[in-house]
Amino acid sequence: MIIENSKSELRKIGKNIRSKIDPFLREKYSHEINQYICTTDYFLNAENISFYLPMKDEVDVWPLIEKSWKLNKNVFVPSIRNNATLNFHKINRNTEYITNNLGLNEPINGERKSPTDLDVVITPLVVFDNYGNRIGMGGGYYDKTFAFLNGSNAPFKTKLIGVSFACQKVKNIKKDSWDVNLFQVITEKGPAY
């Protein structure tokens, strides 16, 4: 991929590439990503974990959510607030969801958790690079919500873990001052950053 592309161009390319992954391979790769994450110290030691609710072409993290419940971890998922940041709601197997105006499922209710109190945040993305930069769907929700992680002296324990298919990796993404880096990116091939 050409590294001079704008974020919107990279987003379009990444979404197109992701949409063309064979459904069988998408399921296989998602399984491999979930299996790897289950072995990491940050997952095993986490008490409060946030996941996204996957859309059709994204890495399916539902098996990892199920694994988290089996390990008695607190599982949270985001909802979008009016100011374009995220709230995190605790979910369980009985949680009911509604579809928001962006077509994303959100929990109707559930205990809220501050982003600063989350140990691990499994983060969706469209493309990522060799430096922990990501491009999402374009709303800036994760960057705005986790802006407290910017800066070398950030005292917070929260780790943003991107999950992606290896074909979504690009060499370099032009980073803006408000972009929040990922702690790690996991693909079906293992850690990619």
Determine contact, residues 100/125, Cβ cutoff 8 Å: no
Q: What is the mean pLDDT of residues 157-180?
A: 93
- Alpha carbons within 13 angstroms on the beta-carbon side of residue 79 total 21
Residue 36 burial class via C-beta count within 10 angstroms: exposed 0-12, middle 13-18, buried 19 and up: middle
pLDDT of residue 157: 85
E strands in 9-158 = 48-50, 74-80, 86-90, 97-99, 105-107, 112-113, 120-123, 127-128, 134-135
Q: What is the mean pLDDT of residues 95-111?
A: 88
Domain extent listing, the chain: 7-191
Summarised one tens digit per residue, pLDDT across range 140-166 is: 899 999 998 986 666 678 999 999 999
Domain 7-191 has CATH 3.40.50.10420: yes
* Prediction pTM value: 0.91
pLDDT-derived band at 3, boundaries 50, 70, 90: very low
